[in-house]
A = this chain, B = another copy of it.
């Protein structure tokens, strides 16, 4: 059997004997760009039903149909980990969303801090980046990218049972270790903005019972580097890399 090289996220239910209608964009990608023909294979996932092999039944310019031919992988959800970050320049914001998806975030929350310049984000664009990253990285889960919110607001309503690892470049040299007793619990990682946190933000963060300040080595990391490093640290110690 020819292996399906193309992985596609769809909204539709997947299962034995299930047919899957394609949107115009998906049809354009599969038949216009990738030149698939009836009978060709694709891998599908929808964030709920695992990964399925499917084959092209109908290929059209504005639509088409696939049919599931068998399950090729179980549904795998990431740990209950949120990534909060302050949006920066466009390309790096895109990268953070992509990397957070690859690294196994369950939800991605852009936040506006006092020293963040970004007044708005393109939520749909960022969501599309998360979807594409999930397609690329072999995952079966697409994290939701939320709307831009003020960090102060997010912290006011912070869930009491969600631990928060916050990466502060003002800290230096501490060995980053996370308490093992919080493994398996809801967590979040907050990456500081490139201008750092304000004193008020730092005070508010430190006052949270669930906050775990962590230093990321002796050099200053850009926000996108810090996101990957922090998620690695967490995944190794408490997440699904263990």
Chain A positions 199-242 with a Cβ under 8 Å from a chain B Cβ: 216-222, 225, 228-229, 231-233, 235-236, 240-242
CB distance B229 to A217 under 8 Å? no
Write the residues of chain A forming the contact surface with B, with a CB cutoff of 8 angstroms.
Answer: 76, 95, 98-99, 102-104, 136-139, 175-176, 216-222, 225, 228-229, 231-233, 235-236, 240-242
A234 to B228, CA, bound (A): 14
* Given A103-B229, A176-B241, A138:B236 Cβ within 8 A: no
CA distance A176 to B242 in the complex (A): 8
The reply to whether A136 and B217 contact each other, CB–CB distance below 8 Å, is: no
CB neighbours of A219 from chain B (8 A): 102-104, 137-139
List residues of chain B with CB within 8 A of the CB of A235.
Answer: 217
Whether B76 lies near A218 (C-beta < 8 A) is: yes
Contact B175 A222 (CB under 8 A): no
Q: Cβ of A136: which chain B residues have Cβ within 8 Å of it?
A: 220, 222
Complex CA gap A110/B88 in Å reads 29
Most buried by B among A95, A216, A217, A242: A217
Q: CA A225 – CA B137 in complex, angstroms?
A: 11
Shortest CB–CB separation between residue A42 and chain B, in angstroms?
A: 17
Query: By the criterion CB–CB under 8 Å, are B176 and A221 in contact?
Result: no
Residues in chain B near residue A233, CB distance under 8 A? 232, 236
* Top 7 A-B pairs, shortest CB-CB distance: A232-B232, A228-B228, A217-B241, A229-B232, A138-B220, A137-B219, A137-B220
A95 to B171, CA, bound (A): 25
Say how far A77's CB is from chain B's closest CB, in angstroms.
11
Residue from B99, B102, B216 in contact with A241 in the complex, judged by beta carbons closer than 8 Å = B216
Q: Give CA–CA (A27, B218) in the complex, Å.
A: 30
Known: A98-B225, A139-B219, A175-B241. 19 other contacts (CB 8 A): A95-B95, A98-B222, A102-B219, A103-B219, A103-B221, A104-B218, A104-B219, A137-B221, A175-B242, A176-B236, A176-B241, A217-B240, A218-B240, A228-B228, A229-B229, A229-B231, A229-B232, A232-B232, A233-B236
